[in-house]
Amino acid sequence: MAQETLVEVRDLKTYFNIEGTWAKAVDGVSFDIYKGEVLGIVGESGSGKSVTALSLMKLIPDPPGRIMGGEIRFKGRDIAQLSYEDMYSIRGREIAMIFQEPMTSLNPVFKVGMQISEVIQTHFKVDRAEADKRAVDMLRQVGIPDPEKRFNEYPHQFSGGMRQRVMIAIALACNPSILIADEPTTALDVTIQAQILELMLDLKQRREEAAIVLITHDLAVVAEMCHRVIVMYGGKIQEVASVQDLFAAPRHPYTRGLMASIPRPATPGSAREPLKAIPGNVPSIMNLPTGCKFCTRCEVKVAQCDTVEPPLAEIVPGHFVRCHLVQPEGGAQ
């Protein structure tokens, strides 16, 4: 693929110090983000998706968290090594983020308009009036009716979906190269979810260059929105593929398990497939297995899986899988 790489993440390790021991929330994650793509990150709760995203922004709360190693190459710089001082010009300007909880992500005591124009004034040399004008324009872009009036209202006067629109307005106000959306619709009800995703796609189309990293539980959303998908489990990437490859031929037993747990309408004539949840629970990051992180729940595991961590191998170009049972195309299986 002749795509231009925007971010190169290499062997990222983000740990949390929990009562003296380092819990490996993200442990050796490597991936790229390409210009203009929508990259999905999926995985069950606790798999390290948010920590990966927050690491890109250097927003890991320290203590207890810390980026222990690895590189995050972005525009010739390594974010992992940058000082907090240098991060100020990247956050909100180059990389922006929206969060899962629209109800609590806005400051309750400031007007919505101020919270948008604030980010504009932080990154651009414009006066208050110009920043306010752009903020009203952002409100209009994210589909808030009567933006001049709503500009002067407080977050509690907005519904959850409207607040998430405001968050998107804040995130896109400075035209960042990357927008990270960490489960932006999880807290919203279904019809609102669809509207927000549609809005994101719509805004994306007007920003050819910008990349979106979309973190979600929902594979249906991934199928709809993303170009490429990263599947995470136990702080590690288990599978990376284009969205077509992943849905056509999921390789990792964990990915297959996730796919099997999507409810599908029964096709007429055929018996309805039973919904299959992955058995067992996500292990705590305090005691992950030494071998494959998924071995405690894997239905096809072999003896080797308990002790040896498989490498993330490229089985076809652009499709990476971390599993002892999946060999590169042409190899023995």
Partner 1 sequence: MGTYFLRRLLLAIPTFIGCTIVVFSIVQLAPGGPLEQQKRQLQAAAAERGGSGGVASEGETTIPPKALEELKRYYGFDKPLHERYLIWLGLWPREIDQYSVTLDSARRVSGGQFLIVKRQAGGLSVYDASNTSTPITTWLVADKKHEDGSPNIYVYKTTFSGILTGDFGRSYQYREPVIELIKERLPVSIQFGVIGFLVAYVVALYLGIQKALEHRSRFDIFSSVGLFALNSMPGWALGAILLMLLATDTFWSLLPLGGMQGTDYESLQIGSKIIERARHFILPVIAYSVGGIASLTMLMKNSLLENLSQDYVRTAFAKGLREKRVIWMHAMRNSIIPLAARAGFVITIFLAGSFIIELVFNIEGIGKLSYMAILSRDYPIVFAFTVIGVSTLLLGNIISDFILALVDPRIRFK
Ligand X SMILES: Nc1ncnc2c1ncn2[C@@H]1O[C@H](COP(=O)(O)OP(=O)(O)OP(=O)(O)O)[C@@H](O)[C@H]1O
Contacts with ligand X, residue ranges (CB under 6 A) = 16, 18, 25, 43, 45-51, 61, 64-65, 285
Our CB check for partner 1 shows the closer of 122 and 242 to be 122
SS3 content of the chain, % helix, strand, coil (to 5): 30, 25, 45
Q: Which does 51 bind (CB under 5 to 8 A by kind): Mg ion, partner 1, ligand X, none?
A: ligand X
Q: CA nearest 97: which of 144, 50, 140, 62?
A: 50
Q: Could you give the C-alpha distances from 18 to 23, 57, 68, 75, 281, in angstroms and in order?
A: 7, 22, 14, 34, 21
Minimum distance from residue 259 beta carbon to partner 1 (Å): 32
The answer to whether residues 107 and 156 touch, using CB atoms and an 8 Å cutoff, is no
Query: In a 3-state reduction of DSSP, which class is residue 119?
Result: helix
Least distance (Å) from ligand X to the CB of residue 187? Answer: 11
3-state secondary structure of 219: helix
Tell me which H or E stretch contains 182.
Answer: strand 178-182
Q: How far is the CB of 221 from partner 1 (least distance, A)?
A: 22
C-beta of residue 31 within 8 angstroms of C-beta of residue 12: no
Task: Name which of residues 112 to 141 contact Mg ion (CB under 5 A).
Answer: none
Residue 96 CB, shortest distance to partner 1, in Å, is 7
Site for partner 1, rule CB under 8 A: 57, 59, 84, 87-93, 96-97, 99, 101, 104-110, 118-119, 122-123, 154, 156, 167, 170
For residues 149 and 156, which CB has a smaller minimum distance to partner 1 in the complex? 156
> First-to-last CA distance in the chain?
27
What is the b/e burial string over 183-205, where b = at least 16 CB atoms within 10 angstroms of the residue's CB? Answer: bbbebbeeebbebbbebbeebbe
Q: Which does 47 bind (CB under 5 to 8 A by kind): partner 1, Mg ion, ligand X, none?
A: ligand X
Of all residues in this chain, which one has the CB nearest to Mg ion in the complex?
A: 50
Judged by CB, which is closer to partner 1: 5, or 175?
175
Q: How far is the CB of 106 from partner 1 (least distance, A)?
A: 6
Q: At closest approach, how far in Å is the CB of 65 from Mg ion?
A: 13
Residues 47 to 66: which contact Mg ion by CB under 5 A? 50
Contact set with Mg ion (CB under 5 A): 50
